[in-house]
Every structure is written in structure tokens, then in C-alpha cells.
Structure 1
Amino acid sequence: MTDFPIFDGHNDLLSCLQREGETAQSGFFAGRDGDITLEKCRAGGFAGGLFAIWPTNDPATRVDPMATLREFPEIPQGRALADTLAQAALFARLTRSWPDALRACRSVAEIETARAEGAIAAVLHLEGAEAIGPDMDLLHLLYAAGLRSLGPVWSRPNAFGHGVPFNFPASPDTGPGLSEAGRALVRECDRLGILVDLAHLNEAGFWDVAATSTRPLVATHSAAHAVTPATRNLTDRQLDAMAERGGLVGLNFGCAFVRADGAKTPDTAPEVLIRHLDHLLEKLGETGVALGSDFDGTMIPAFLKDAAGLPKLVQAMRDADYGEGLVSRICWGNWMGLLSRVIG
């Protein structure tokens, strides 16, 4: 187990459990074959994170997961609503049934209490807001249920904006930005104290959020475009804007987003992640960089494999001469500082 508790900016456990069914959900997902189980979290020091609701893509859409360019069509609001409600209910059942293992948290104080009491601190996140209508009633319902972080889009278009497709090598400047409904959603998230996640927005959408929101600019699970020129990564100009606003990037572990060659292969060394951390630290400073694994949602480097492997990344940071204070901030403190300024 790592010496430091780890707060992670993104995982896709909830959508996986929805697909895997009752067997995987029983016993607090103890026996599932995935990146996150209770045992793996305990072994790796995974002490909390943003747990994403992700309305899944149309099953009829066939996209080669190894393709260089992957574009996804818009999904119907009705199906997105069904997925969103099902995963929100699953989150509520898990956190209500096993509060000593997984604790729903709505503030930094609750996160710190869960950590002190040995429970995994779980903050509810929505990745792709297709289910939310123009009246935003669902946003307020989800907020009451604990939602504290929201990405207006996943990597597909919706009523709020345009998600960036997966492509390499390519620019994140792939189309138009937020709609008027998207700007209204950002303003309401600001008012409520919901973090607006930039991770899957295209570049035009990024700048629209920057112009609309008064909050820090945050990407929960992204990497540096200057190191890996994938569309999902952030350019230096974007990182500079984030630094000016006291923002934060949680480093995505996805192999195709961190390797310099963009290859989708788990044969990805610790030094590959360190190169991104070095660049992000240079642009954002020591308080603007954290972790955003995308566990259960992407191809994880084989040296890590899953949540149990997190101590190996901690050791890689030490081997790169990151001091203990910096490692602690990347693993936990920077997320706490950011969230305290957004959700309270």
C-alpha cells in the first residue's frame, strides 16, 4: 500500500457495474474482474475519487476500439436518462448499503471524514449531460442526490456542446463550442457549486467555458498535448489559461493518451506518465496537478494494471526526485484544495 492516500479524478465503475449486472454489484463488487474492487482499492491506497455516471453509446454503433480516429454519434435523451438514473440509483444503493466501505461525499469535510474513518470517499460525477433537459430539473435532482461534478459532454455532440473525438495526431480544435443551453448549464453549475469538467470538450468548448464560468478551470482526466498530440489532451495555451484561473488537471492513465506515439498498447512504462506530470507541473505549478486515472474506462499501463498498482506510480514519482510534499499534493492535497474552492 502507498504511504499516501490517493484521491482520483475519474473512474467508470458505475457504468461497468450497470453492464455487469447484479452479480458484480453484490457484496460491494468484491469479485468483479475490473480495475476497481474494494480489495484493489485497499491494496493501492485508493481512498477516494470522482465516480462517474456515463450514459453509454448506442450499442448499434460499431467503432473499432483500436482505431486512430473514433467519432461517436449523439445519443437520444430518453436512453441517456435511463442510464443516468440507473447509475445514480446504483451509486445510492452502494453507498447506503456499505457506508463503512464506500461513503457518498458532498464536501471536502465529508471526504476527509470518510478518509479518517477508513471509507472510500465517493463524489458523484456526470460524464455527458444528455439526460438533462432545458428546464434543468434533473440537474437539481441529481444535485440533491449528491452530484458535485459534471462534464457537459463526453466525446460526442449533444444539446450543450461538442465532445472531442478520439484522434492522433490531431488538434483538439475539432468544431463549434457550447450552445446557449451549454452556457446556461455552466452558469447553473457555478451557482450550485458543481465542478464543470473540461476533459471531453473540444477546444472551442473549452474557451466557451472559460468565458462563461467564474470558477477554476478543471480537467478531471486529461494529459498534455505537447507530449502526446491526441485530441483528448490539453494544449499549452489551454494549460496556461488554467494556470491563470488556479485550475487543475488530473492525469489520465490511458495508454493512447500518454504515449508519445499514441499507440494503444499496455506496454507503457512509468516514465511515460512522469513525462506528462513533468510538463503539467511546469505549466500549472505544484498545486495544479493531480491524478485522474480513468480506471475501468481506458487501457491502463501494464505496470499499474489496476487500483492495486498505484504504489508503483508513487514510487515512479519518487524515482523522478519528486519530494514527499509534492507527491502528497499530487496524490491527495491538490484535489482537496481545488474541491474546497468549488464544492465547499
Structure 2
Amino acid sequence: MGLSMLSLNRLAYSQDYKQVHADMIVVDGHNDVIYASIFQGKDIGQRLNSGATDIPRLKEGGVDVQVFAVWSDDAKWKAGAFAHANAQIDALEKMITTNAAEIALAKSTADIEAILKIGKIAAVIGVEGGNMIEGSIDNLVQLHGRGAKYLTLTWNYNVPWASCAAMESKKMDSKAKGLTDHGKAIIRKMNQLGMLVDLSHGGEQTFYDVLAVSNKPILVSHSNAHRLCPHFRNLKDEQLEALKKNGGVIGVNFYSGFLDPDYEKRLKKIYKKQFGKNADTTQSTWSMYEQLSKEAKYEADAPLSKLLDHIDYLVGKVGIDHIAVGSDFDGIESAPQGLNDVSKFPLLTKALLKRGYNKADIAKIMGLNFLRILKENEE
């Protein structure tokens, strides 16, 4: 018995989205696999049974350019953070050398083009947290020399020269918010180096202070729309309007907690359902989520439609030329249903096609917009 017309249409559609995805340059602008796996001694050249990222799954997901975040917990690394950043870059370089047939380090957009031409994954470095330069412009220059293409100015704590969103969202002296004069000098130096200023995690005042100083388009590597999910890590409408005027780009974050305002409440309910009504829900969302069964985790994850809603909203606010992808894989415990590791990127292309986005627009979101501002910062 032959395939029905409906089955044939579904088969054609399935092949079509896979081909559309394969034909694009796919860039993920933020992934924490260095700290989560590589720095812990795991070989991501092999398929891992843990985490969201390894080279086999990057290839399955059609990821052409992966930004590897160099991260340190500000609270733990009050001293020695610069050395810690360099140690992570050492670990990344060792991994690349071990897997040289599959991946190569890119220090420029020209490098990216050359690496993609020979069929390898281009590895790009992003430093997540200004604490790692320890206030030193010389340290900034050294990290850039090692390949760092962006610096996320803060993580979840203030640095002496810039305030972060987590702290600004609490009671904080308004005079202490934003960039100091030294912070402004750091931004000017980044512009001069051709290094992207990343304002994910940055406080609102820091955000506007940077836009007043920077003469290059800025990046918000892994954040979403505050209007849809009012978390301090997401951008408010006024910030989105300023971002558009600057020519910058926002990379959508896959974290359920930044996509769906009901995520934490739902997670606690599911946790109690699995472990009993007296289960401890004061622990971190990460800790609760990791204890759940596979089925319960899926139930807790944000629906994929929530990610698409954020993309729709951001496109409406800033336009198709200003949206990218910054998954935050291996830095988050929960991603949208079905999009739980780097091998699943083609499903985002499929979902965007279903939402009515054309191939050219999807190609911009999935990679071209990120590459554009990378190049504009280098010029």
C-alpha cells in the first residue's frame, strides 16, 4: 500500500526544513560548555551522556559557529579571575587541538569564513563577566589577543566599574549604578580593539551608559523580552528601542525561566508531585529540576511556543536584522520542550518555518545578524 498524500506532504516538509537548516550558517552566540564539561576534564570530542553539548551533537545540530563562554562565579573568584579565565581558554585550546579535524579557533570573521570553507566548526570565545579582567585594560587586551570576541561586562554581581541587572533590580544607590569613568574607558578600548560589548546581565543604567559611549553596535548575547517574561535578565521595551537605534543585536536565550513567567511555579508543583507535599522547594530551580524524572523535566520545561513568542515580539520591536540566538546551553537547567541540547537546533528552524518566517529571515536570526555585528565591530 502506497504512502497517503498527507504522509508524502509531511515527508517533503520534514526534508525541506532539514535542507533549509543545512543551507544556513548557524551561529550560537552563547554556550557554557567550557565550565560545565571541558574544564572538568570531559572530552567533548565524544558523545557525552551529560550536558547539552559535544562535537557529535554540534554536527547533528548543524551548528557552524559556536561561541564558547569563559565564565567564573564572581563571588568565588574575587581574586585570580584573570588567571582562571586564561586556564579556561587553555582547556578550550587543548580540546580544539585534540579534535583538530572537526573544529578550529576563530579570532576574526575572516577566520570564521576560512574555517567554514573547509567544513569545520568555528569556535569563538566570549568572556562572560568583567571581573575576569580584574579592572585592567591590559588584561582585556590580552584576552582579546587570545581570541575573545566579546566581553559580557557583568555577571550577577557588580564589578567596580559597572553595575549588573541582578543588583540594580534590588535596592541600590542610584549614584552607584551604571559605568564609572574607568568603565567608559574600558568600553572605548573594546571599540578600538573591535571587541563586542555584551550587555546581557548588565544593569539598565549600565546599558544606557554603554550606548552613550560606544561607537559600535552592541550585543545582548543571551536575553529575552521583559514584556513577555518580567525577569531582570530580559530587556524592557525602551531598551529594545535603544538597541535598534544603536544597530545592535539581541540573542534569544533558551532558558525556561527567562521565557515563561510560570516556569518556577510549575517546577515547584511538579517537584512536590514527585517527592511529596512536604518536599523542599526552597532549594535552587537547578537542584529541583535535576532530581526530576525525564518525563517530569519535560513537563516542567517551557513550551517551544514560548521561545517563538519571544522571537515574534522582538522582531516586532527591533526588526528582523537585530535578532540572533544565544542558547545558554550548559548554563541553564531547563530549555524549551524538545530543544534540550545542541543537536536539536534544526527543530527551531522547523518551528520558525511553521510560524511563517521565510528562509532569508530565518538565516538572519540563526546566524547572519550575529556575524554582521561581529564584522561591524572589527571595522
Question: In the aligned structure 2, how far is the partner of 1:19 from the partner of 1:174?
Answer: 37
1:293 matches 2:327: yes
Query: Runs (4+) of structure 1 moved beyond 4 Å?
Result: 170-175
Alignment correspondent of 1:326: 361
Equivalence map 1:114-263=2 (5 Å): 114-165=115-166, 176-263=177-264
Aligned to 1:65: none
Whether contact under 8 Å (2:47, 2:57) holds in the other structure is no
Q: Is the CA contact 1:102–1:120 (under 8 Å) kept in the aligned structure 2?
A: yes
8 Å CA contact 2:158, 2:167 repeated in 1: no
Deviation, structure 1 residue 94: 2.1
Cα offsets for 1:124-175 (capped at 9, x unmatched): 11111213244422112112111111111111111221222299xx799996
Distance in 2 (alpha carbons) for counterparts of 1:85 and 1:280: 35
Question: Which one has the bigger helix percentage?
Answer: 2
CA drift at 1:318: 0.7
CA distance 1:173–1:108, change in 2 (3 Å): farther
Q: Do structure 1's residue 6 and structure 2's residue 36 form an aligned pair? A: no
Aligned 8 A contact 1:171 1:230 in 2: no
TM norm structure 1: 0.87
Partner of 2:72: 55
CA contact (8 A) 1:36 1:296 kept: yes
Q: Secondary structure at the match of 1:283?
A: helix
- Provide TM-score, normalisation by structure 2: 0.80
| Equivalent residue in structure 2 for 1:309, among 325, 344, 358 | 344
Measure, in 1, the Cα distance between the counterparts of 2:87 and 2:56.
Answer: 25
How far apart are the structure 2 equivalents of 1:44 and 1:173? Answer: 42
Q: Which residue of 2 aligns with 1:67?
A: none
Q: Provide closer, same or farther for how the CA distance between residues 171 and 112 of structure 1 changes in structure 2, counting only shifts above 3 A.
A: farther
In structure 2, distance between residues paired with 1:16 and 1:206: 28
Aligned to 2:15: none
Q: Distance in 2 between matches of 1:29 and 1:254?
A: 25
Task: Quote the Cα distance in structure 1 between the aligned partners of 2:261 and 2:350.
Answer: 22
Cα deviations by residue, 1:80-103 (Å, 9 ceiling, x for unpaired): 223212101112222233233221
Looking at structure 2, the residues matched to 135 and 42 of structure 1 have their Cα atoms a distance apart, in angstroms, of 37
Out of 259, 272, 278, which is 2:306 matched to?
272
Say if 1:31 and 1:261 are closer, same or farther in 2 by CA, change over 3 A: closer
Partner of 2:220, secondary structure, is: strand
The CA deviation string for residues 174-202 of structure 1, in whole angstroms up to 9 with x for no partner, is 96112222211111101111000000101
Aligned to 1:63: none
Aligned to 2:293: none
Q: Does residue 340 in structure 1 map to residue 370 in structure 2?
A: no
User: What does the per-residue CA deviation read over 1:248-274, in whole Å, with 9 as the maximum and x for residues that have no partner?
Assistant: 111001100011435375421121011
The aligned length equals 323
The alpha-carbon deviation at position 46 of structure 1 amounts to 1.3
CA distances 1:49-86 after superposition (whole Å, capped 9, x unpaired): 22110013546xxxxxxxxxxxxxxx4132x2232121
Partner of 2:112: 111
- 8 A Cα contact 2:163 2:203, kept in partner: yes
Counterpart pick for 1:40 among 23, 47, 57: 57
CA spacing shift, 1:173–1:196, aligned 2, 3 Å = farther
User: Which amino acid counterpart does residue 78 of structure 2 have in structure 1?
Assistant: P
Cα–Cα, structure 1 residues 36 and 343, in superposed 2: closer, same or farther, change >3 Å? Answer: farther
3-state DSSP of counterpart to 2:321 = coil
Q: For 2:94 and 2:173, how far apart are their aligned partners in 1? A: 39
The residue type paired with residue 324 of structure 1 is K
* CA separation of 1:43 and 1:200: change in aligned 2, threshold 3 A: same
The residue type equivalent to 2:56 in the other structure is E
What is the one-letter code of the residue matched to 1:123? Answer: V
Aligned-residue identity in percent? 30
Whether the 8 Å contact between 2:74 and 2:156 is mirrored in structure 1 is no
